[in-house]
Amino acid sequence: MLFTSYQFIGFVILLVALYYVLPKKAKWPLLLLGSYVFYFFAGWKFLFYIAGVTVITYVAALLISRNKNRADARFAELKALEKSGEGAPEECGKEARKRYKESQKKKRRRIMGVGITIALLILAVVKYTNFTIHNINGLLSAFGSSQRIGFLTIALPMGISFYTFQAVSYVIDVYRERHEAQKNFFKYALFVGFFPQLVQGPISRYGDLAKELFTPHPFNGRVLERGLERVIWGYFKKVVIADRILTAVNTMIDTPENYKGVYVFLVMMFYALELYADFTGGIDITIGIAEMLGIPMKENFERPFFSKNIAEYWRRWHITMGTWFTDYIFYPISVSGPMLKLGKWSRKHLGEKVGKRIPVYLASFIVWFTTGIWHGASWNFIVWGLGNFVVIMISQELEPLYRRFHKRFHTDGSTTYKTFQVGRTVLLMSALRLFDCYRDVPLTFKMFGTMFTTWNWKSFGNGTLLELGLVRSDYVILGLGTILLIVVSMIGRSGSVRDKMEKKIPFAGRWAIFYVLTLVIIVFGAYGLGYDAAQFIYNQF
């Protein structure tokens, strides 16, 4: 069930209606049932994966939680025994208690390790087996062997990268004592499988989402309106903009030999727009649906293209993924014992300045490598991830240079300079995204190179743009749509656009605005017969 399918829209209407009609007790079970129905439509076999991951992480967290409670009780008991002088001598004293505590923590750590390893292993097997085989075969042929390993036929279960990450973060957070483990299996299953976020995130944390998920929300017209507004806006981005420009992007990347030079630049810009409209639109639909049910969700984007640099961009694009990698990969690695030792060593031997960078850069490298491969099992994504790493590192290293430049020319904070920064972010990110587009890494580099060697700027004037599968009126729609996106983004800089509308525009006026927007989606949307049902780009990850 794609977000853009009639079935999905019907499904959501039915679910929201039922949610408010059903008695309090039945509300969250309805969401669980709905989520599994939704997932069933993606393929009944996939249910085993999500159920499996849910069971494993549920049990692991419960064991951790139980151990913690037992250990705490025993710890208090030991203390009391010592106080009353009845404690066994080897169990007395602060040191002994500390040892006990640590041994128990180690136990919990092991449980956590087993739990998340199994969950991640499932993800790894379905996602990376064929990629690994492919690479091994490459090596075999490089060494002159004619042996080849056959590929497995595993379909990637929808959303597995997302729900596995949610489940893993839940186990770690229980271990870290951020919150208790959920005893009710079905409630936990709802957290892992809550349907709007299954397709493409956001990657929610149990601590943020769970409470609202289980709270029965009574009907509230205002909440419903706001959720619906967001859903409509999401569909506008997805159906009117992303799915329309997709045609041109695909034309250019399907036969790259015909579209060199300036077309690569076009691919860059078009794909950036497509991905932005597709992904943020999808997230708007997700968050909007949750909002209609009275469930607030974490934001996943914060006008990312207005960022001053790539590091900032990554704090504002796909936020829940970024923080996931920071909290569960970057920090654990960078503050681990060996890493701290490495830091100490490097500072001593390479000097304070260089030395302190080594562990952070190493950890960043690992984070960006995993980020890349998480996006997809291909070298394109790995190189893309590492490309981000390189750009961030370089900009970090250039920081002093920038500072000196600003001091001298007093450019810091000026509008011109800010515009330059935003333009630079857009160009850099769009260039890196070329790895999403072309078949393999060498081709991507080659195509990127043609931008500087093939000077075919005339193509803009001679009507070739109209041979990309879009007609003049499509470009008009895209242009107007993009302007609307930018304007709404600008208004959003000083706070929620919907808040502002609610304050300034009466209900009938808001209705009119969103009615027109809906009509625009229906009429100008790129859907239905004659249009390919474009899957959400992030769906495959």
Partner 1 sequence: MSEEQNTRKNKCKRVALVLALLVLSALLTYAVDLLLRPKYMGEVTEGALTAEYYQAKGRHQVLFVGDCEVYENFSTVQLWREFGINSFIRGGAQQLVWQSYYLLEDALRYETPDVVVFNVLSLMYNEPQNEAYNRMALDGMRWNSSKWNAIKASMCEDENMIDYIFPILRYHSRWNELTSEDFKYWFTKDTVSFNGYYLRTEIMPAGEMPPARPLADPKFGDYAMAYLDLMTELCQEKGIKLVLIKSPSLYPHWYEEWDEQMVEYAKAHDLLYINMLNIAESEIGIDYNVDTYDAGLHMNVTGAEKCASFLGKILVEKYGITSARGDKKLEAYWAEVEKRYDEAKNA
Partner 2 sequence: MDELIAILQEIHPDVDYETATNLVDGKILDSFDIISLVGEIADKFDVVISAEHMIPENFNSAQALWNLILTLEDDD
Applying CB under 8 A, the residues found at the interface with partner 1 are: 6, 221, 471, 473-474, 507-508, 511, 515, 519, 522-525, 528-531
CA distance 403 to 420: 16
CA distance 223 to 295: 9
Binding residue for partner 2 (CB under 8 A) from 360, 427, 443, 513? 360
By CB under 8 A, residue 372 contacts partner 2: no
CA distance 97 to 77: 11
Look at residue 197 and give the partner it binds from partner 2, partner 1, none, a contact being a CB closer than 5 to 8 Å depending on partner kind: none
Closer residue to partner 1, CB minimum distance, 401 or 523? 523
Closer residue to partner 2, CB minimum distance, 266 or 321? 321
CA distance 536 to 286: 12
Binding residue for partner 2 (CB under 8 A) from 344, 349, 403, 407? 344
By CB under 8 A, residue 387 contacts partner 2: no
Residue 283 C-beta: closest distance to partner 2, Å: 23
Closer residue to partner 1, CB minimum distance, 153 or 473? 473
Look at residue 522 and give the partner it binds from partner 1, partner 2, none, a contact being a CB closer than 5 to 8 Å depending on partner kind: partner 1
Residue 499 C-beta: closest distance to partner 2, Å: 22
Closer residue to partner 2, CB minimum distance, 97 or 134? 97
In sequence order, the 6+-apart residues with CB closer than 8 A to the CB of 506 are none
CA distance 113 to 225: 44
* Contact between residue 185 and residue 29 where contact means Cβ atoms under 8 Å apart: no
In sequence order, the 6+-apart residues with CB closer than 8 A to the CB of 381 are 372, 373, 374, 375, 435, 436
By CB under 8 A, residue 217 contacts partner 2: no
What amino acid is encoded at 203 in this protein? I
CA distance 399 to 253: 36
Got the DSSP string for 238-263?
A: IIIIIHHHHHHHHHHHHSGGGS-THH
Tokens of 499: 């808040």
* Footprint (CB under 8 A) of partner 2, residues 253-312: none
Closer residue to partner 2, CB minimum distance, 6 or 331? 331
Closer residue to partner 1, CB minimum distance, 21 or 471? 471
* Contact between residue 115 and residue 171 where contact means Cβ atoms under 8 Å apart: yes
**Sign (positive or negative) of CA dihedral 16, 21, 26, 27:** positive
Residue 356 C-beta: closest distance to partner 2, Å: 4
Look at residue 13 and give the partner it binds from partner 1, partner 2, none, a contact being a CB closer than 5 to 8 Å depending on partner kind: none
CA distance 411 to 36: 55
Nearest CA among 516, 539, 470, 6 for reference residue 244:
470
Give me the 37-76 binding string for partner 2, x by CB under 8 A, dash otherwise.
Answer: ----------------------------------------
* Footprint (CB under 8 A) of partner 2, residues 83-102: 94, 97-98, 101
Residue 165 C-beta: closest distance to partner 2, Å: 16
Look at residue 302 and give the partner it binds from partner 1, partner 2, none, a contact being a CB closer than 5 to 8 Å depending on partner kind: none
1 burial (CB, 10 Å; 0-12 / 13-18 / 19+) is: buried
Q: Residue numbers of the site for partner 2 (CB under 8 A)? A: 94, 97-98, 101, 175-178, 326-328, 330-332, 334-337, 340, 343-344, 356-357, 359-360, 363, 396
